[in-house]
Structure 1
């Protein structure tokens, strides 16, 4: 039931457009509009470009599978992911461009725009890298992003992305003590955008000194993110009511979100919510696959 190929345009962690080879059309995501440009022409041109990538992607796939499978054959089907990235330095205006190819979640080839060269990551892909580097033209299937394209996409979407903020919400869960670990408090913060966030613990209006563990920032099913930060309740007399989870995020401006134990749901209810959240996150990570693991 999956399409043969999919393409996604994302700027600053926000998905702006997606192409599905089943419907052969580039469509907006999260309400994105190209602004002053002719909207119909923008999406039509984008669809045509993605349709061209379908056949070029097939050629790339065949080349990589042939080389990798020759050295280490496997029975299961291969899937390919190509990640094209560019970073714009606002201070200097310079653009860094890179392309990464993977098969079944494993890096195979990297392209670095500053050196205009391919580098093999998988041992079996060195011949492909050499051929592509020696070619008179850059291998057509890649269609590397140009600095002009990068600047255009980033600048044209900047005002739209700046409006797509979402404030975080949070709640706590208490994990009982086990033989291996002391009691822990978990602060689950979710629903925020943009991605950068800071979550810390306080005890008695001072920074908590006990060990703190973070899940890292993970994607939700929409364009927002979530994170879990836990702290050990090392002192026998220290209870959950004495701890405060402090959240700082750009959507909150100069204020902070302070999550306390007061009026928390029961442990069983909160734990179930977190388990469900983790399952949904696992599905999201599985869908994005290689990119998020590398990220």
Structure 2
């Protein structure tokens, strides 16, 4: 892999991960990477779509196929036919964008030619607020990892993020450049895409689990309670500390919502107990998530201690039971007339379960959905 490929991939996927989902806000994101030449591990053009942070589909110029990438997306004959049509549209977009991309790169980069090949990143995001019905769409262009242009639907304007791109932004605002229009989300299309794609992932939910840890204090810092919540989907979640039925006083620090790598998420929220004599059991970590319905998950340090004590009691009971069984066996074997052995170890025979390792084949899984190459349909 060429040396310049790694920073491209790192910054490209960083754009896809650095997003914050708010409660009641749905999001569709398109991420596109365009480079002048293909190298091992990186095609000339790569496009992916995410729906509420789930990877939905992907297209690259090497395979020249638009394909689903989520096991939660259902499929039928109609959507299967759509994949074929969508792939054809994306191939048409390949030939169109080749010349447009080259022209835009030359116009933006007015300085001396780059030592390394040009690459362009395009991030298009649209959000729909369920509560207000408001739609917010943003398109960003980056050139060689540096932000260049930004479009905001609420202001219906292009803004230059770099001095080298201000002429392009002004011209697109003045003339409505075709290349610009084809690479942004209009509010109407944003609303349509979200309503189209949300049913594909509506059935996917995962309930959170929570654990509370007590961090001992030091001379410089008081004790802290940390509530670690993990394994939940969708991404939106509320985690707060309460005391006496009210939001606990004091600053509550959060790690932010982080991906787990298996399509679920995790978050940590901590609170300082202060110097006063406040016991950790007085604080309750409250978790509210759509997978829980109207219920909430409540976890305290005291409840975990009780749970651990119960586990220890069960272990102690098992040990006592084993000792009792052993004592009874010893007594029975010591009785007059008791029959003793002999016991023979089991022999391993060729061709039996224990003579050769077993192999397992993973079950196959296929899925499909209805969507399209982002630029081909705009």
Contact 1:18 1:29 in 2 (8 A): yes
Query: 1:190-213 deviations in whole A, cap 9, x for unaligned?
Result: 222222211111235543213211
Structure-1 residue corresponding to 2:178: 138
Contact 2:72 2:204 in 1 (8 A): no
Scaled by the length of structure 2, the TM-score of the pair is: 0.58
Contact 2:137 2:152 in 1 (8 A): yes
> Does residue 3 of the first structure (1) align with residue 34 of the second (2)?
no
Query: 1:260-283 deviations in whole A, cap 9, x for unaligned?
Result: 331589xxxxxxxxxxxxxxxxxx
Query: 1:151-200 deviations in whole A, cap 9, x for unaligned?
Result: 44322333232211211112223333344422222111122222221111
Match of 1:161 among 190, 196, 201: 201
Contact 1:53 1:141 in 2 (8 A): no
State the Cα RMSD in Å.
3.6
What secondary structure does 1:130 align onto? helix
Match of 1:218 among 223, 235, 258: 258
Aligned-pair distance for 1:101?
A: 1.2
Query: 1:3-22 deviations in whole A, cap 9, x for unaligned?
Result: 23432222333332122344
Contact 2:254 2:270 in 1 (8 A): yes
Contact 1:60 1:141 in 2 (8 A): no
Q: Distance in 2 between matches of 1:72 and 1:226?
A: 46
CA distance 1:105–1:251, change in 2 (3 Å): farther
Structure-2 residue corresponding to 1:181: 221
CA distance 1:137–1:65, change in 2 (3 Å): closer
Deviates more, 1:197-206 or 1:181-190: 197-206
Match of 1:199 among 221, 229, 239: 239
What secondary structure does 1:254 align onto? coil
Structure-2 residue corresponding to 1:28: 68
Number of matched pairs: 265
Contact 2:172 2:180 in 1 (8 A): no
Query: 1:110-168 deviations in whole A, cap 9, x for unaligned?
Result: 12446654221212111222343455742179443455643443223332322112111
Contact 2:153 2:187 in 1 (8 A): no
Runs of 5+ consecutive residues of structure 2 not aligned to the other structure: 1-39, 309-378
What secondary structure does 1:108 align onto? strand
Match of 1:256 among 285, 288, 296: 296
> Does residue 110 of the first structure (1) align with residue 142 of the second (2)?
no
Runs of 5+ consecutive residues of structure 1 not aligned to the other structure: 266-295
> Does residue 227 of the first structure (1) align with residue 279 of the second (2)?
no
Contact 1:174 1:184 in 2 (8 A): yes
Structure-1 residue corresponding to 2:162: 122
Q: Distance in 2 between matches of 1:172 and 1:64?
A: 53
Tell me which of the two structures has the higher relative contact order, counting C-alpha pairs closer than 8 angstroms and 6 or more residues apart.
Answer: 2
